[in-house]
Chains A and B, each alone.
Chain A
Amino acid sequence: MRRIPIRFTRFGTSYTLFSLAVGAAAINTGNNLLYLMLGLLLGFIIISGFLSDSSLWGVRTDFRPAGDFYVGQKAEWDVIAHKKGFPGILLEIQLFWKEENISPSRCFFYWVSKSEQEPQRISLVPSRRGYWDLEKVRYATRFPFGLFEKSHFHSRAERWVVFPKVELLSAAVLRAGGLNTADQPAGRRGPGATPFDLREFKAGDSSKRIHWKSSAKRGHWMISEMEEESALSQAIYVSHWPEQCESFIAFTASLVYTLHRQGLPVALHTPGVHFPADHSNDHLKRILTYLALVDPNTEKGALPHSPSQGINVVNLWERRAA
């Protein structure tokens, strides 16, 4: 059976010393009422031990990230605790990270039962990109009387990715990079201003779309359909990894982030990977995940061939720094 460490609180120390004094007085005087009183005091200690054990055992916690994590921004998790059987009462949960110099994050639950509880939120500000590993979780309680604090550790290998630090780049920076953000025809039907195709009128079509010339020629209503407009996909490439990698990676991430915020499909090419253009959130996450985890030391060298179109991020970054 796993041992649960016990730590005396200040009140618990006083209480125990008081109990010992009562015991000594009982032994000295032979007063049976003092023996009864001693029994009651020790009874409280035993009940306290039993209830605190019951409160600690079997607690399960889920950690749900509240959004994505970026360097320098507050990363938050919702902590949800469950417990079957005897509820967990006055429970303190501490998260210990593998990262050095990061103090444990903590949250507190007054009542934990088998039903869904109101989550508690913990937060910290990551200082670097990459994997953030949770090493272990500590459950502690002073229930029921505050005489002792019982706790136990539970190994928990959870991992989250922290994206590089991002910031919205200014339009000047984008223009300096030669980025064209105008709309282009997408080659498919959709809302737009350019006529794309003609078809027969169906019930429900807007009368404003009637193509009168074709309708006159064919003798029945014809509707013109427009072409969808889409932004031109932006290809950015990293020709090589510069010396000051971290700030460059942060700049690259910021560039991708800014373009994505503008609704532009972004493609990224680096010596190691190629991400085709896409404007979905998943695509952004994939790129940011790559940038969070990339080790430039393993991607030495340069792009095998420079794309015909696209922005060299290294040049842009150096220009900006200058």
Chain B
Amino acid sequence: MNYQRPLLWSLRLSSALGLMALTLTQEIGAVYLYLCWLSWAASFWLDSQAVWQKKLRRLETAVVIGMIAVFVLDFYVWGQTLFIGVAHFLLLFQTFKMLGLKERKDSLQILMFSFFQMLSACTLSVDLWQAAILLLLIPIATAGLFWHLVNQEAELQGHKPSLQAQRPFQRLVFWMCAGAIPINIALASTMFLVFPRLAFRNAFAGLGSGRSGYSEQVNLAQAGVLNLDSSPILWMQITPEKDRDRWGGYLRGTTLNHFDGRQWSRQSSAIPQTLFSGNNGVYQLGLPADKKRRGLRQTITLVNTSGATLFGSPFIGEAMAPLANLQTLPDGSVRWTLGWRKPLHYTVVSYDTPLISRGAVPNAQQINYLQLPKLSFDRTRTLLQQITQNKRTPQAQADAIQDYLRKEFQYSLNLGRPVENPVEDFLFNRKQGPCGYFASAMATMLRLQGIPARVVAGYYKGTWNEQLGQYLIRERDAHAWVEAYIPDKGWVLFDPSPRPVSAPTTQRWLSQVQQQWEFLNYHWARLVIEYDLYSQVRTVQEIQSNTQRMNNALTAWIDRHLMGRGEGTAESREQGAEKHRGVLGLIVLVVGLLAGGFFISLRKRKALLDPRILFYKKFLDYMARQGFPKNTTETGWEYARRLEPLCTPTHPKLNLPYINTITRRYYSERFRASRSEQE
């Protein structure tokens, strides 16, 4: 066994772990990751090609200069954050190190890169697979650091470990890795539970990770194809479960009122209203006109909080959230302002009718829901006339537009190409596209018709998880629809997008595995990612209350069963208490006897060694410590004779007369006979 090979394998495994961690975040540039993975694979062959590795080594300075240049470009030109730029730099460095000659210091550098990569992944993503990564880190790091030390010592001492020493190292590493896992889990869990959550949240320029997620714009000027991102956004539970049927499937985020011809965005001079929770912790956003109307209660765990928007079924009337305050806008959207960088658990109650003081058409000076871009919509007007022919009321006109778009157009992820007037291009040329085009087209047509309209960005439906009893909404469930203001009704929801063809049903077992993963991911988010100062306080309080409860129960039991203070007559209570005291006394007696017997036997074993003979045992122990142990097959005198020739000035501790005296005395004490009789 070569003692250097295990180190090579350890650093390969650790670098694979770090790369896997970064790859799963989906935040790092694909080119860098692919390059690094390629170098990892190539290292298996290159490690046997020392000539090529040495040639690569000579290029180290030039390569480092190149990497610094890439980093500068990354940060200043391509606009990456400092954090991502550094991650890219380290990936390139690792690529070079994996390909080149791996001396011991290179191995240490690769191990450290892996640590940094896993650390970066922790800041970029919070999914359940992080737990698996951290778990695998324990044995790989244990083995890697140990073998690195062995190699380092071999270098320092100038001689490698003998084969005799290398073999037990393998067993040792196995047991170290096996032991490190539970110990590290226990220590990490203790640290996790006990360490105070202060969360100062000081921001450092350039170090924000800026995760993409919910978007507050609908951009029609993009090209290409939409990527279906499966990242979870939120979990939603509807209580009671029978109310699931009442949910229309929409989760409202924000509204977009300004259309410049290519992009919908929010522009408003209205001042958001800041709300504070009442004594019961509930934020009152608005009430329905019909006060008897029952709201739809949703408990939501928002995993991605980068949008700082509270989602809920339209329209949110009440909210309960661990936030210092909330901001509401005249369009009914709810936001928070203070940074919240981890999953947010909150409850909202929604009403599907317009709410008092919310939702009404605000002052037109504040928000213009009839605004149109400076583009020609002649063809659209003509089409509109055809669609809304014989439709007199705004509701009927809006329904007609919605029906027309649903029937005559196809849903597609294809974004097409950027054009001057994307709405007319969609209506008359392409006739297919994602939901943003449908919503834009309908909102534009409604505004052309003189009906106030706005585009709403949010999410639709998601997938139902049977185990959790919750909906999981992913990034790919992002949706855009339209709200039109209908006199006497208020803002009414319209969804002109045809329902996309549902994906073919996956294998049942695969869907079950997926559900199980989502179930674990949810609990990971709830128990680990969301653990904060409040959770700590709650945990301490729960421990205290449980301890108090146990204490009370024990006291009550003692009072009842031992002190006779329970129910019943005084005589029966006393009899019961006597019986219990008797049983307890018996138990104590038995335990005491057993313990006493144990200690007595221990003393007896010691006492078997007569103190007069005990001195000889102490003498033997002393001699063993000096390096002259007595063999078990030797008698006392044989031992003394064996030491005799060693009693020279080179061994000042060996005094022959002393040894002989001790041995003689031992024999006389033990056997009560002289030496001559024994020998």
Contact = CB atoms under 8 A, between A and B. Distances in A.
B171 to A, nearest CB: 10
Interface in B154-173: 157, 159, 161-162, 164-165, 168-169, 172
A63 B202 CA distance: 60
Contacts of A122: none
Given A38-B191, A144-B145, A161-B649, A31 B176 contact: no
Contacts of B650: 65, 159-161
Contacts of B168: 87, 111, 113
A157 to B, nearest CB: 8
Contact of B176 (A28, A60, A144): A144
B627 interface: yes
Contacts of A125: none
Interface in A35-61: 35-40, 42-44, 46-47, 51, 60
B63 interface: no
B369 to A, nearest CB: 40
Contacts, number: 147
Query: Which of A44, A118, A160 counts the most chain B CB atoms within 10 A?
Result: A44
Interface string B135-161: 001100110011011101100010101
B200 A89 contact: no
B320 interface: no
Interface in A139-196: 142-146, 157, 159-161
B276 interface: no
B162 to A, nearest CB: 7
A304 B199 CA distance: 94
Given A31-B342, A32-B529, A46 B187 contact: yes
Contact of B187 (A30, A42, A157): A42
B176 A51 contact: yes
Interface in B88-146: 108, 115, 118-119, 122-123, 126, 130, 134, 137-138, 141-142, 145-146
Nearest to A35: B192
Nearest to B160: A110
A122 B60 CA distance: 41
A89 B161 CA distance: 11
B123 A143 contact: no
A39 B146 contact: no
Given A32-B528, A32-B529, A108-B157, A159 B119 contact: no
Contact of B146 (A28, A87, A144): A144
A29 B184 contact: no
A305 B315 CA distance: 128
A105 to B, nearest CB: 14
A22 interface: yes
B649 A289 contact: yes
Given A40-B134, A42-B191, A32 B201 contact: no
Interface string B181-222: 001100111111001011111100000000000000000000
B188 A110 contact: no
Contacts of A36: 122, 134, 188, 191-192, 528
Contacts of B224: none
A163 to B, nearest CB: 11
B625 interface: yes
A299 interface: no
A106 B555 CA distance: 64
B300 to A, nearest CB: 20
B128 to A, nearest CB: 11
B21 to A, nearest CB: 11
Given A89-B172, A108-B153, A60 B184 contact: no
B313 to A, nearest CB: 29
Contact of A146 (B148, B159, B648): B148
B652 interface: yes
Contacts of A51: 176
Nearest to B190: A39
B662 interface: no
B27 interface: no
A155 to B, nearest CB: 12
Q: How large is the interface on A (under 10, 10 to 19, 20 to 34, 35 or more residues)?
A: 35 or more
Given A60-B625, A90-B153, A111 B169 contact: yes
B342 A32 contact: yes
Interface residues of B, number: 61
B532 interface: yes
B134 A29 contact: no
Contacts of B152: 146
A119 to B, nearest CB: 12
A30 B341 contact: yes
A120 B275 CA distance: 78
A71 B621 CA distance: 35
Contacts of B188: 36, 39-40, 43
Contacts of A212: none
B150 A90 contact: yes
Contacts of B201: 28-30
B200 A27 contact: yes
Interface in A65-104: 65, 87, 89-90
A34 interface: yes
Interface string A125-136: 000000000000
Contacts of A293: 649
Query: Which of A47, A118, A160, A289 counts the most chain B CB atoms within 10 A?
Result: A47
B531 interface: yes
A36 B161 CA distance: 36
A62 interface: yes
A35 B192 CA distance: 6
Interface string B308-334: 000000000000000000000000000
B448 interface: no
B124 to A, nearest CB: 10
B282 interface: no
Contacts of A38: 191, 195
A37 B134 contact: yes
A216 interface: no
B130 A33 contact: yes
A37 B117 CA distance: 12
A90 B172 CA distance: 12
B413 to A, nearest CB: 33
Contacts of A146: 145, 148-149, 152
B16 interface: no
Given A27-B198, A30-B199, A43 B187 contact: yes
Contacts of B137: 40
A40 B119 contact: no
B563 interface: no
A43 B145 CA distance: 14
A42 B191 CA distance: 9
Given A111-B165, A111-B168, A33 B126 contact: yes
Contact of B199 (A29, A60, A111, A160): A29
Given A22-B119, A110-B150, A159-B652, 7 more contacts: A39-B189, A39-B191, A110-B162, A111-B164, A111-B169, A160-B650, A161-B650
The 10 lowest CB-CB distance pairs between A and B, nearest first, are A39-B188, A30-B199, A39-B191, A33-B122, A110-B165, A43-B187, A43-B184, A146-B149, A145-B145, A111-B165
Interface of B: 108, 115, 118-119, 122-123, 126, 130, 134, 137-138, 141-142, 145-146, 148-150, 152-153, 157, 159, 161-162, 164-165, 168-169, 172, 176, 179-180, 183-184, 187-192, 195, 197-202, 341-342, 528-532, 625, 627, 648-650, 652-653
10 contacts: A27-B199, A28-B200, A30-B198, A30-B532, A39-B189, A39-B190, A44-B142, A46-B183, A159-B650, A285-B648
